[in-house]
Structure 1
Amino acid sequence: MENYEELLQKNSQYLWNPFTQMKEYLQEEPLIIERGKGVKLIDVRGREYYDGNASVWLNVFGHNRKELNDALSEQLSRIAHSTLLGMSNVPAILLAERLVQITPDRVQKVFFSDSGAEAVEIALKMAFLYWKHRGKPEKHIFLSMQNAYHGDTVGAVSVGGIPTFHHAFDRLLFQTEKVPYPYPYRFSGTEQECVETCLAELQKKLEEKADQIAGLIVEPMVQGASGIIVAPRGYMAEVEKLCRQYDILLLADEVATGFGRTGKMFACEHEAIEPDILTVGKKLTGGYLPVAATLTSDEIYQAFYGDYADQKTFYHGHSYTGNQLGCAVALANLDLFEQEKIIEHVKDTSEQVAQWLKEFYQLSHVGEVRQLGLMIGIELVKEKESKKPYLLEDTIGQRVCNRAKELGLITRPLDSVITFLPALIAAKDELREMLDILYQAIQEVTESE
């Protein structure tokens, strides 16, 4: 094993890290991970850190889990990969069946891909072509939410709405329509007034352009990358009703919220939402391999079903679609969900975490704490009473996360929001220790200014 200095030099010379300003990253003391165990990461110098964002929100049962390791090893002894184009394989078929069994009833067919962004691209292309095959090509515009995040490919960015991430690519993007997602904390009225205002704007947009809109894409219950914005209860159910009323497809992006993160297997379950298209990824393989899926209704599937001469084939695919190793570990991951009753575990631990999070309001620069299950955002503000926000150049979130790293916990900020999305299997004592570190980091950084 090469030492830290050698690896750092090679990182500087060869590697371009994602979502990373390389100049600042290389000027600091970059973290280089060598291994993991349970809910901890261990760097090349042997230092241990709690994995407070589940390696970008996807780890479920901790690192180096024997059952998942064994599933990979067993599958590897048979075959690592064969194409799903024009043929199939055993783990992909079994995983498709399993996904249909655990997702909302409306979605009955599974199309595999390699990442959440790709799953969204597939969803958009399916919805676009569905209306074309139905003889309504004029329904080609997508409606999405302000401050939405659906991935980083061009289609996913087009339906996204976070200026920091997306504005630089504006000339690459296709036309979309945007409506607000309810965020009561930044709204001048009551929570109910916020919901009513947002729904009214959505209905107005549908009244104006429903004949041109192919579908509405939304992160159900929680907008993740915009700062863990939790929708008030009842909002999503009303959104679905409007989609049905105006005959547009509902696309639910559960890449971040799916597989137990919000205290339900899928966030749609909180309000019994039945999307026409559902995208999943991240925790599907327990954090082991890149497998994502786009699930859709039989009605949409049938729009593509026909003879070659009909030219309805869905011409989309990836080299590693339905990869056997990924599907095998995903099946083992879903087995563990049942065996270890992970949904019940998340409900129990998140209730305790909710009590501990109340302590954060004692801090003079914590404006709001947002939580659904183990999906948590702590918003920092310059002035508590006026809700005056920190500016991007204040780098408050990054400075707090840097201090947390020094104290033994890894997480990432969303501007001035500190995110906390630990592995779902984390025990209460581990969660308490992680929250103590976050509390200390926030207190030390914000109160030293």
Structure 2
Amino acid sequence: MSLNIWHPFTQHGLGEPIPEIARAEGAALYQADGTKIIDAISSWWVQTHGHCHPTIIAAIQEQSAKLDQIIFAGWTHEPARELAEGLSDFLPKSLAHIFFSDSGSTAVEVALKMALGYWHNRGDARQKILVMEHSYHGDTIGAMSVGARGVFNQAYAPLLFDVGTIAFPEAGAEQATLDQLEAFCRDSDSPPAALIVEPLILGAGGMKIYSPAILAQMASICRAYDVLFIADEVMTGWGRTGSVFACEQADVEPDILCMAKGLTGGVIPLAVTAAKDAIYQSHLSEDRARMFFHSSSFTANPIACAAANANLGIWREEPVQQRINGIIASHREFSNELKRKPNISGLRQCGTILAFEIDDGAGDYMSDLYMSDLGPLLLGFFRDHNILLRPLGNTVYLMPPYCISRGDLNTVYAVIEEAIDHFRGC
């Protein structure tokens, strides 16, 4: 009997087609028969410079012939050292310690353990984690615990730990969110250990956007009450919001920053959790019981580190910011066209990310969002038109690789407009 593949976030009982991709280049995916599919969401938000970028592929090929894998507990290698040094050109100097892992979810788990370990090793019994409503930080247990609760994790509720939740800072209600955060922080009976946020835009929660000013004020409140501030830049990092990291736009230096996805240009899994010196020092001791107890078999895999080093080289040597700015401008032009459509709402943009809702009566909340009947219809429509878009329920969003041509963008825009017209009244 042959084994069957169980795909993520796929209800196989619906019998929906699962296309097979044979190769990829730039912003294009190709099926075996040569059919071109435009990748308009960077293959789940990971691709930054495009598929099979020659610089990254060459680095992977060269490294795989020299050193493919080595335990990173008590051993090291040159690609990891080069990457740690290279990241200093992109991160605030205060984030002086780099911990490697292998996915965004794992990077968040590492951050949470660092935060709790920091307070534990200082002899302070702080255990409460604060989160933002509608947030998403991954699908492992800790990451699910600090994300929104809904249909996608209700079966695992007994495993999830309790958190303190602040409201999403909706326009006009931002002060209420800030007041709520401050109330949590000044609770002397149960002071929080950390606040974790997706800076500027909540991805899987429906591409919900808030301002750099609010991000800065949240960080300031945490600093005033000695609460650690964790920035989950797994999706927002590496240019998605218009700057290399979203926190830059708020002039915020988090205590801990998580990155993955675009770290290797989206080619191979690798993650980093960067921490301030105080976090590291709290674990530094001659007592082995105070060490940071976390690892995975492929921590700092040399091939993945080589890919990340090539990514840093692309950022230094190619006009990446110019490409990002071009996408931002194109989205703004397209937004002016979308404003004329009667059946869309919530049109918004954050850097290279453009999002809106096709009105279908679905609710705003994440549990309703993911169960929107319009979602599978939109997914099928885009698939049939050879566009890779994966709506979040009735929320349509664009997040293309930076190499996408204006011609391909225009094709995507045209198909989106066709979809809006097609589903009018649904």
Pick the TM interval, shorter chain: over 0.9
Using the alignment, how far apart are the partners of 1:127 and 1:235 within structure 2?
23
Matched, 1:168 2:155: yes
Contact 2:348-2:354 at 8 Å conserved across structures: yes
Amino acid in structure 2 at the alignment position of 1:88: T
* Aligned with residue 216 of structure 1, among 186, 195, 201: 195
Measure how far apart 1:113 and its partner are.
0.4
In structure 1, the residue matched to 2:315 is 337
**Cα deviation, residue 251, structure 1:** 0.3
- Please give the alpha-carbon distance, in whole angstroms, between the structure 1 residues aligned to 2:263 and 2:188: 36
What does the per-residue CA deviation read over 1:79-105, in whole Å, with 9 as the maximum and x for residues that have no partner? 111111111011011111112331123
Q: CA deviation at 1:387?
A: 9.2
Q: Could you tell me which residue of structure 1 aligns to residue 401 of structure 2?
A: 423
Shift of 1:42: 1.1
Number of the residue aligned with 1:376: 354
Counterpart check, 1:257 vs 2:236? yes
Which one of the candidate residues 98, 104, 115 is aligned to 2:92? 104
Asked if structure 1 preserves the Cα contact closer than 8 Å seen for 2:372 and 2:393, the reply is no
Aligned residue pairs total 425
1:200 aligns with 2:187: no
Q: Contact 1:162 / 1:226 at 8 angstroms: preserved in 2?
A: no
Give the distance between the partners of 1:436 and 1:293, measured in 2 at CA.
Answer: 38
**Structure 2 gaps, min length 5:** none
TM-score scaled to structure 1, two decimals?
0.90
Q: Is it true that 1:40 corresponds to 2:28 in the alignment?
A: yes
Cα deviation, 1:116-149, whole Å, max 9, x if unaligned, reads 000000000000010011110x211100011110
Per-residue Cα deviation, 1:380-404 (whole angstroms, up to 9, x for no partner): 22369x9999876542122122111
What is the CA–CA distance in structure 2 between the aligned matches of 1:92 and 1:330, rounded to whole Å?
Answer: 9
Query: Are residues 65 and 210 of structure 1, via their aligned partners in 2, closer, same or farther at CA, if it must alter by over 3 Å?
Result: farther
1:134 is aligned to 122
In the other structure, the counterpart of 1:17 is 7
1:312 aligned residue: 290
CA–CA distance in 2 between the matches of 1:358 and 1:167?
39
One-letter amino acid matched to 1:164: V
CA pair 208-99 structure 1, distance change in 2 beyond 3 A? same
The one-character-per-residue Cα deviations of 1:193-251 (angstroms, maximum 9, x if unpaired) are 31112111111222225853110000011111111111034100100110011110000
Q: Distance in 1 between matches of 2:145 and 2:370?
A: 23
1:281 and 2:260 equivalent? yes
Identity within the alignment, %: 32
Q: CA offsets, 1:416-447, max 9 Å, x none?
A: 10121111221323222211111212221235
Which structure has the highest helix share of the two? 1
User: d(CA) in 2 for partners of 1:160 and 1:432?
Assistant: 35
1:381–1:387 CA distance, 2 compared to 1 (3 A): farther
Using structure 2 for the length normalisation, give the TM-score.
0.95
- The alpha-carbon distance between structure 1 residues 237 and 210, as it changes in their structure 2 partners (threshold 3 A), is farther
CA distance in 2, matches of 1:228, 1:274: 23
- What are the superposed Cα offsets for residues 60-82 of structure 1, whole Å, 9 maximum, x if unpaired? 12112211111111111211111
The alpha-carbon deviation at position 337 of structure 1 amounts to 1.5
Contact 1:160 1:166 (C-alpha < 8 Å) held by counterparts:
no
Q: Secondary structure at the match of 2:88?
A: helix
Match of 1:144 in 2: 131
Alignment equivalent of 2:168, drawn from 181, 190, 193: 181
Alpha carbons 1:154, 1:172 under 8 Å: kept: yes
Look up the equivalent residue of 1:19 and give its one-letter code. Answer: F
Aligned residue for 2:219? 240
SS of 2:9 mapped into structure 1:
coil
Seen in structure 2, the aligned counterparts of structure 1 residues 168 and 383 have a Cα distance that, compared at 3 Å, is closer
**1: distance between equivalents of 2:86 and 2:298?**
20
Cα distance, 1:23 vs structure 2? 1.3
Tell me, what secondary structure is at the counterpart of 1:161? coil
SS in 1 for 2:194: strand
Worse-superposed segment, 361-370 or 231-240: 361-370
Work out whether residues 146 and 179 of structure 1, in 8 Å CA contact, stay in contact via their aligned partners in 2: yes
- Name the Cα RMSD after superposition: 2.1
Contact 2:70 2:302 in 1 (8 A): yes
Q: What do the CA deviations read for 1:163-205 (whole angstroms, capped 9, x no partner)?
A: 132322111011211111213xxxxxxx3x3111211111122
Structure 1 residues not aligned, in runs of 5+? 1-8, 184-190
Q: 1:121 to 1:348 in 2, by over 3 A?
A: same
Q: CA separation of 1:388/1:277 partners in 2, compared to 1, >3 Å: closer, same or farther?
A: closer
